Structure 1
Amino acid sequence: MAATIKEIAERAGVSTTTVSNVIHGKTKKVSPATIQKIEGLIREMGYVQKMGLRVLNKESSQLIAVVINYHKDFRDSILGDPFYGKLIGFIEEYVRKMGYYLIFYSAKDVEDIFRMVMGWDVDGVIALSFSRRNCEKIYQLIQKPIVSVDAYGELEEGQGNHVVNIGLDDESGGYMMTKYLLECGYEHIKVCAGRDSGVDHLRYLGAQRAVDELADGRQKLQFVALGMNYAKRRDSYAWLMQRRKPKTALFFLSDVYALEAVSFLCDRGLHIPQDLGVAGYDNISFAEFSAPRLTTVKQDVEQKAKLAVKILMDRIQGRETEEERDIRLPVTLITRKSVMVQEREK
């Protein structure tokens, strides 16, 4: 059990003020023997300094803020999304190993996030799903190191470029999945996402490139904007079901949406992949255990989290390197049972 300053003072036979002075480095009037005794008791009794006191004493806060500017409506908490839950879990693990603590804050309104990071004395920020412009604005507001994950868009002219972004080779992911669907013989490929923006746009560009390079005259590509809340997505799934043609594959740019659609379609009598091929993106843990198991594009979430924390800590500790401002990690095609080879016409 952690000890209090009062308990340490009683064991040391000194005042609580003396113990507090030793804790905060104010030892000019404290003898070396007393300092050694108090420091020994601090270690032995497990005293933990309150975070707020570090801020008041102008020390490093040891706080890292992880902020999310989310855009879609979540049926539960944002942490209910397996991708965000896994990413933040790994970030917290690596931050803790470095002796820091994590503050997590999510909001749709980016102004709320600006106020939050300005209001806390954090040592650095990891920003998830922000525009590059807003990542740079956070840096300008607090003048502290910031690393972004999956930032999108472009910086405004003259805005500066102080933020390292860690993303994926999203265009290659879109390309390799669409290439695989074409090779399986699908003639109607529908790329499905909440909207055509951010990393989803890059994945769609990869899909377009695959069709331009590899498709014959029969094979077509279409983007379908599902909507950013469940009610709109459900209507989109019904629309996709009604307009289904033979040899159609749905390529969802998120595993969560792919699994949501599989549930909707199977409840209404369709068989995956016999009636409709379904593919996803991310390889969340549920993708391997769904029925059928989901064909998808794998990203290494732990690598993304570990690299974000490493770069941020290097910058906090003055070890800024000349790494690229835009790091793109590789992705891998994972083939499972939700897609099947189509019969060739005789």
Structure 2
Amino acid sequence: MATIKEIAQRAGVSTTTVSNVIHGKTKKVSPANIQKIENLIREMGYVQKMGLRVLNKEKSQLIAVVINYHKDFKDSVIGDPFYGKIIGFIEKYVQELGYYLMLYSAKDTDKIFQMVMGWDVDGVIAISFSKSNCEKIYQLINKPIVSIDAYGELDAGQENHVLNIGLDDESGGYLMTKYLLECGYEHIQVCAGRDNGVDHLRYMGAQRAAKDFAKKKQKVQFTALGMNYAKRKESYAWLLQRKKPKAALFFLSDLYALEAISFFSSRGVKIPEEIGIAGYDNISYAEFSVPRLTTISQNVEQKSSLAVEILMERINGVEKERENEIMLPVTLILRRSVQPQHEEK
């Protein structure tokens, strides 16, 4: 890797002149020398150290992606197919723009606040935060922030400086519940770790569909599974004990739906013949399960690319008229884990 000194020797100029060209301070440098130095930088493969950019008060080229997770993971937050996919796409797009990604995840929001204050980042993408905490991050660092899947409302008196990219989650809950009711399921359990955040919106959609389409025998209820695998296994066993004819489980996460398919199948329960199982998110594994999972699909790549696009606009001072809440559409994906129920004779 070339150094400034080596470039200066080849160009026949001082190291100060080379440094000035690298940092855009070219008022006192001739056009011929600028061209010569820029050609040598490309030819010799010079790469400026990140630390020097910060010391020279240029952009750090760092984007922080922070995740405020709420459940316990078997492996890690990146091991979750949804988070792994969204982080992968964000990293791809920031890299294409010459930026670097810094990832930090924690349950404790105070730790995340300390992290973003401690690093000179150009912007932040906040995933799974309350809207109030997104605004707190902005107030702490006064840098551009875009949130993904933020939930809740701002605290009284808080301004809103953070654009959120989410899903039409209520419609997703509505679409799936309507379909399950139309299939003839009479006992539908909507299952999530807890009734909070985007899961609450999805359950609201399910309740609305029940109000619009449920017949006399059809019931839609909520089951809190718990926020770690041990609690969820207990919940699956409880659901198995209470299994009724014409029952379906609508999980507000594909990962939980796939866990349940494995749990029920290992105990001899036939899916969908004895119980229907549906999910939400359409993660990569959903089409490879046995049976393949009926689910609600979201476009994670679109969500990621839009977050990076808007964050870069704000970093570069580009003002565009946008709503503070962008709701992306969802789609019902029909596979084999749910089937129409036969009418009793």
AA partner of residue 106 (structure 2): A
Matched position secondary structure for 1:67: strand
Cα-to-partner distance string for 1:59-85 (whole Å, 9 max, x where unaligned): 111221111011111111211111111
How has the CA–CA distance of structure 1 residues 322 and 21 changed in structure 2, closer, same or farther, with 3 Å as cutoff? closer
Q: Aligned to 2:105, what secondary structure does the other structure show? A: strand
Root-mean-square deviation (CA, aligned residues, Å) is 1.6
Residue identity (%): 77
In 2, Cα distance between the equivalents of 1:283 and 1:29? 58
Query: Structure 1 unaligned runs (5+)?
Result: none
Q: Determine the C-alpha separation between the residues in 1 that align with 2:123 and 2:110.
A: 18
> Residues 26 and 315 (structure 1 numbering): CA distance in 2 closer, same or farther, change over 3 Å?
closer
CA distance in structure 2 between the partners assigned to 1:71 and 1:214 by the alignment: 33
| Letter matched to residue 79 of structure 1 | I
The equivalent of 1:112 in structure 2 is: 111
The residue aligned with 2:324 is: 325
Deviates more, 1:291-300 or 1:301-310: 301-310
Call closer, same or farther: CA 1:46–1:247 in 2, change over 3 Å: same
Output the CA distance in 2 between the equivalents of 1:28 and 1:277: 71
Long gaps (5+) in structure 2: none
Whether 2:257 is the aligned partner of 1:258: answer: yes
The letter for the 1-side match of 2:225 is: L
Aligned to 1:87: 86
Q: What residue in structure 2 maps to residue 72 of structure 1?
A: 71
Letter in 2 for 1:310: E
Moved more, 9-18 or 69-78: 9-18
Task: Provide the C-alpha distance between the structure 2 equivalents of 1:134 and 1:42, rounded to a whole number of angstroms.
Answer: 43
**So what's the TM-score if we normalise by structure 1?**
0.95
Counterpart check, 1:295 vs 2:294: yes
Q: Which residue number corresponds to residue 132 of structure 1?
A: 131
TM-score where L is the length of structure 2:
0.96
Deviations 1:234-284 (A, max 9, x none): 111111111111111000000001001111111111111111100000001
Instruction: Give the 3-state SS of the residue equivalent to 1:238 in structure 2.
Output: helix
Report the equivalent of 2:278. 279
Residue 213 of structure 2 corresponds to 214
Residue type at the aligned position of 1:165: N
Q: Which one-letter code corresponds to 2:204 in the other structure?
A: L
3-state SS in 2 of match to 1:271: coil
Q: Could you tell me which amino acid in structure 1 is paired with residue 285 of structure 2?
A: F
Give the distance between the partners of 1:24 and 1:74, measured in 2 at CA.
44
SS of the equivalent of 2:54 reads helix
The letter of the residue matching 1:119 is G
Q: Given the superposition, is the C-alpha separation of residues 326 and 30 from structure 1 closer, same or farther in structure 2, using an over 3 Å criterion? A: closer
Question: Who is 1:19 aligned against?
Answer: 18
Residue 27 of structure 1, CA deviation: 5.3
Residue in structure 2 matched with residue 155 of structure 1 by the alignment = 154
